[in-house]
């Protein structure tokens, strides 16, 4: 597959961001950025299932591009420490 | 910092647990409950800083309500932009209230903790930007409405904080969803700061006074900040604190000096 034109990639990233922020997904905390010729997805989402859903959409929207996945799910553990404010 | 949050608090201190942006939906039922169940051992109250649901539906709010019902500590919440997405914010407020949560939008609530009066003033707030880099109420009606909404949010917070002053609360906490300061947005793209908070909230906090300001909304931001008047600000968005909640111990030394 030939390399997509740079401006086309930029608009495809914008479309993915729009789709993630849209009605059905409602995930505004995901960062979508170019890293060389690949696309990096990063940020923290509530559950592993949401992460899988975002990656599935990204692979559809960004078909033909390499997607690097750096999405994490937030810890749901109680904290080990308390901040003492003076 | 202390390694033992479960220890009894020293006399004259209030322990506050806080989290925002939990974005729950029916597939997440029970996700935070095990951690929340430990709250009576480590905190005097729990603050929820908005974006409690994913799409702002009542079904999702019921999941949130079940997560915090009968915890054994008071629970105080503000709603966030996600909780307004389906125009069901009034029903969401009722669903949370039915589980004992105090949902604030321009109101305050006070509690007695070990003989001290602790007050929380809450409002969702809105975006608009920070001093010198904010939108003005000029031009199209949409632009004016946007800026007016930011002013209304700050006025509601101010009203609620004034109630706490009138009640002579010894510890005063300002709870919002949007950020009052840019400090706690560090990590977010600078270009979107105007969508993440408003300096009008910080101006209200500094004018009336508070001992701590807690907010969410900025998932890529950082936890610690201060207002220009010196009030400590904490971004407790769950992706930022990377825990079920954050814990803060505030000293009780009379009326909040704002410093």
pLDDT at site A4: 60
> Do the chains contact at A83 and B249, CB–CB below 8 Å?
yes
Task: Look at residue A2 in the predicted model and tell me its pLDDT.
Answer: 57
pLDDT, residue B259, reads: 37
Q: How many CA atoms lie within 13 A of A82 on its CB side?
A: 25
Report DSSP letters for A31-72, one per residue.
EEEEETTEEEEEEEES-HHHHHHHHHHHHHHTTTS-EEEEEE
Domain-located, residue A80: no
Confidence of residue B254 (pLDDT cuts 50, 70, 90): low
Nearest to B115 by CA among B60, B65, B44, B49: B44
Q: Do A30 and A59 touch, CB atoms closer than 8 A?
A: no
- Per domain, the residue ranges of chain B are 13-251
Segment 74-103 of chain B within 8 Å of chain A by CB:
82, 85
Average pLDDT of the residues in B133-143: 92
The structure tokens listed for A11 are 């608009």
Confidence of residue A5 (pLDDT cuts 50, 70, 90): low
φ/ψ (deg, to 5) at B93: -60, -45
> Which residue on chain B is closest to A72 by alpha carbon?
B239
When CB atoms are compared, the residue of A47, A49, A79 closest to B243 is A79
Burial of B80 (0-12, 13-18, 19+ CB in 10 A): buried
- Residues of A at the B interface (Cβ-Cβ below 8 Å)? 23, 26, 28-29, 31, 43-47, 49, 74-86
Q: Do B31 and A78 touch (CB under 8 A)?
A: no
d(C-alpha B246, C-alpha B237), whole Å: 9
Average the pLDDT over each of B7-11, B130-134, B163-167 and give the range with the smallest value: B7-11
Look up the ipTM and state it. 0.89
Structural domain contains residue A30? yes
pLDDT of residue A1: 52
B13-251, superfamily in CATH? Metallo-dependent phosphatases (3.60.21.10)
Nearest to A26 among B55, B211, B242 (CB): B55
Question: Which residues have a Cβ under 8 Å from the Cβ of B218 and sit 6 or more positions away?
Answer: B179, B184, B185, B187, B188, B196, B197, B235, B237, B240
Contact of B34 with chain A, judged by CB distance below 8 Å, is answered with yes
Closest CA to A9 of A39, A46, A30, A52: A39
Which residues are registered as beta bridge partners of A70? A42
Q: Give how far B258 is from chain A: nearest CA, Å.
A: 12
Among B63, B54, B56, B61, CA closest to A26: B54
CA dihedral B158, B159, B160, B166 (to 10 degrees): 110
A50 falls within a domain: yes
Please give the backbone phi and psi of residue B240, each rounded to the nearest 5 degrees, phi first. Answer: -80, -50
Number of domains in chain A: 1
Whichever domain contains A62, its CATH number is 3.30.1340.30
pLDDT for B185 equals 98
Report if residue A85 sits inside a domain: no
What is the average per-residue pLDDT within B12-27? 95
Residue A22 is predicted with a pLDDT of 85
In a domain, A82, yes or no: no
Euclidean distance between the first and the last CA atom of chain B, given in angstroms as a whole number: 20
Q: Which whole number is the average pLDDT over B32-56?
A: 97
Output B256 or A63, whichever has higher pLDDT. Answer: A63
Instruction: Give the confidence band of B1 by pLDDT, cuts at 50, 70, 90.
Output: very low
Does residue A84 belong to any structural domain of this protein? no
Joined tokens for residue B187:
């990590």
Q: Does B33 touch chain A (CB under 8 A)?
A: no
Strands A83-84 and B246-251: parallel
Model pLDDT, residue B208: 97
A54: in domain: yes
Residues of chain A contacting residue B242, judged by C-beta atoms under 8 Å apart = 44, 74-75
* Average pLDDT over all residues of chain B: 93
């Amino acid at each position: 597959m030939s390399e997509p034109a740079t401006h086309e990639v930029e608009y495809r990233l914008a479309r993915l961001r729009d789709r993630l922020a849209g009605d059905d997904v409602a995930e505004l905390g995901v960062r979508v950025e170019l890293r060389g010729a690949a696309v990096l997805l990063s940020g923290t989402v509530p559950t592993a299932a949401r992460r899988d859903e975002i990656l599935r959409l990204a692979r559809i929207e960004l078909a033909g591009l390499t997607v690097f996945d750096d999405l994490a799910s937030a810890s749901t553990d109680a904290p080990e420490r308390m901040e003492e404010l003076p | 910092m202390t390694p033992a949050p479960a220890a009894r608090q020293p006399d004259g201190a209030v322990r506050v647990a806080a989290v925002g942006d939990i974005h729950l939906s029916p597939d997440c039922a029970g996700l935070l409950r095990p951690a929340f169940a430990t709250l009576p051992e480590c905190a005097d109250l729990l603050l929820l800083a908005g974006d409690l649901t994913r799409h702002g539906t009542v079904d999702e709010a019921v999941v949130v309500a079940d997560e915090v019902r009968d915890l054994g500590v008071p629970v105080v919440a503000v709603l966030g932009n996600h909780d307004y997405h389906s125009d069901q914010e009034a029903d969401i407020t009722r669903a949370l209230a039915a589980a004992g949560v105090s949902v604030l939008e321009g109101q305050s609530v006070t509690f007695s903790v070990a003989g001290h009066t602790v007050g929380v003033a809450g409002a969702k707030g809105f975006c608009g930007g920070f001093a010198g880099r904010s939108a003005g109420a000029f031009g199209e009606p949409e632009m004016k409405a946007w800026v007016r909404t930011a002013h209304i949010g700050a006025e509601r917070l101010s009203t609620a904080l004034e109630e706490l002053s009138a009640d002579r609360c010894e510890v005063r906490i300002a709870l919002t969803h949007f950020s009052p300061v840019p400090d706690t947005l560090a990590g977010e793209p600078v270009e979107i700061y105007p969508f993440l908070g408003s300096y009008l909230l910080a101006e209200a906090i500094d004018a009336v006074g508070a001992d701590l300001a807690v907010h969410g909304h900025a998932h890529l931001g950082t936890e610690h900040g201060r207002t220009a008047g010196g009030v400590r600000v904490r971004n407790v968005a769950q992706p930022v604190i990377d825990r079920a909640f954050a814990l803060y111990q505030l000293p009780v030394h009379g009326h909040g000096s704002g410093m």
